[in-house]
Amino acid sequence: MKLFLLALLATAAVAVASLFVGVSEVSLLRLLSGEGDEKMLMVLAGSRVPRTLALILAGAGMAVAGTIMQMLSRNRFVEPSTAGTVESASLGMLFVLLVAPDLPVMVKMLVAAAFALAGTAVFLGILRRVPLRSPVLVPLVGLMLGGVINACTTFFAYRYDLMQAMGAWTSGDFSAVLRGRYEVLWIALALTMAAYIAADRFTVAGMGEDFSTNLGLNYRKVVTLGLVIVSMVTASVVVTAGILPFIGLIIPNLVSMAMGDRLRHTLPWIALSGAALVLLCDTVGRIVNAPYEIPVGSVLGIIGSIFFLHMLLRRRYRAA
């Protein structure tokens, strides 16, 4: 508990620091001394605070979603960006823009969640029907499925001149997050809390359908609940800021190596670590090429791809 509190304080310190990083000057000393002008307060309340909250909610939600996917698929290489889930959510967003672009954000999120749920269900269905001799083939199937879905999305976006709009929700950029445009992410927080409540069931379900059924667990209901949580969280993040790759791959594996696989114990650490990682990546993206910003999705893509390769090579050396 003491270690968790220290980690929580460290994450809070990073969150506070991120409030004062950016092109517009927001000085903590001037605010504390009462010298802050109206513009500074407006930037802080209208942009910096919503952006920081969105980063925390998105990071925690995607890390937990990746954990659930790994438990359900029983594979350490699976997460929403390697299972076709985020690509399906993007296809859902394109569908909304083509059919009813004036729908409220909440309805857009529900449509994207429905597409994400369908894409994840297809992925799991493929895994049940295809003989997989190596765990590495599982993310390969997901990446292939995601590539097909992304190709369809790109085709229709190009056909209807929506490529620029499509880029807005695929870059993982929080620079446009303002007050009134991130509140849908509170749904991700509620679903993360629901995942914690059902943590023991997900742990048992991760041991397989036969084992879960023998213990009296309704395996199909648990899988459905997990898919709904993953789809809703992914859709809320995609609608708000775009695709955040590899969070659900990096954080669950690091926490699992340090603390094991009991979700009741590790889930708070996973959520906190996911939030901290996204905060750090966003802060780095704002500092490296200031006054311009590197989207947090790009920074995560670099870190995540290196970590993914490390996992593959580590497994290969162990097998050898």
Q: Work out the mean pLDDT of the chain and round it to a whole number.
A: 84
d(C-alpha 46, C-alpha 67), whole Å: 32
Please compute the mean of the pLDDT values over residues 43-68 and round it to a whole number: 88
Structure tokens at 62: 């995607």
For the chain, domain boundaries: 46-319
pTM for this one?
Answer: 0.86
Please, which pLDDT band fits residue 36 given cuts at 50, 70 and 90? Answer: low
At residue 114, the pLDDT reads: 92
Task: Please compute Rg for the chain using Cα positions.
Answer: 20
Q: Are 105 and 42 in contact (CB under 8 A)?
A: no
pLDDT in tens, 287-298: 888 778 888 888
| Domain 46-319 class, CATH top level | mainly alpha
Please compute the mean of the pLDDT values over residues 195-217 and round it to a whole number: 83
Return the percentage of the chain with pLDDT > 90, whole number: 10
Please compute the mean of the pLDDT values over residues 42-51 and round it to a whole number: 83
At residue 320, the pLDDT reads: 47
In DSSP notation, 275-310 reads HHHHHHHHHHHHHHTTTS---HHHHHHHHHHHHHHH
